[in-house]
Amino acid sequence: MNSSSSQSNPSTNQTDNRRVIGQGGVSAESGSVVNYQVLDGEVVNRSLDSVDLTVKNALSTVDKSVGRSFDFAVQANSQALDSLNTTSNLVKDAYADAKGRGAMTDKILIGSVVMAGLVAIAALRK
């Protein structure tokens, strides 16, 4: 009779995937080497000062631009008002001239009719 045998060797591999939070909030897998640097407070302050300066410069530029735009608008409105007043005065003067010429034309026309009448009367007398 033939005999056969089998053997089994059960083994289990397990990986630990838990996270370890180290000083400064650095996360790594258990057993890992973590290199980190703690920021110097002075470096952080200088960075914030740089951002603050950038923001102040940007706001200053915006303020100057708005100021120049406002000055331009005021000047343009002033010139438009001056132009409107000048045009109004020209129209008023033109109307007065036309009205005066109309009255003068009426007087000349009446004078011409009177003269024509006198000439006609003189011609009839002869």
In a domain, 53, yes or no: yes
3-state secondary structure the chain: CCCCCCCCCCCCCCCCCCEEECCCCCEEECCCCCCCCCCCHHHHHHHHHHHHHHHHHHHHHHHHHHHHHHHHHHHHHHHHHHHHHHHHHHHHHHHHHHHHHHHHHHHHHHHHHHHHHHHHHHHHHC
Residues 6+ apart with CB under 8 A from 74: none
Per residue in 15-45, pLDDT tens?
665 655 655 565 656 666 656 566 667 777 8
Per-residue pLDDT tens over the stretch 106-125: 777 777 878 888 887 877 77
Q: Which pLDDT score is estimated for 36? A: 57
As given in the structure block, the two tokens for residue 4 are: 């056969």
Give the C-alpha separation, 59 to 35, whole Å.
40
Counted domains in the chain: 1
Domain that holds residue 104: 38-125
Average pLDDT value for residue range 69-74 = 92
- pLDDT (tens digit per residue) in 76-106: 888 888 888 888 888 888 777 766 666 667 7
| pLDDT interval class at 13 (50, 70, 90) | low
Contact call for residues 18 and 30 (beta carbons, < 8 A): yes
Asked if the structure places residue 11 within a domain, the reply is no
Q: What is the pLDDT of residue 34?
A: 59
Q: Is residue 45 part of a domain?
A: yes
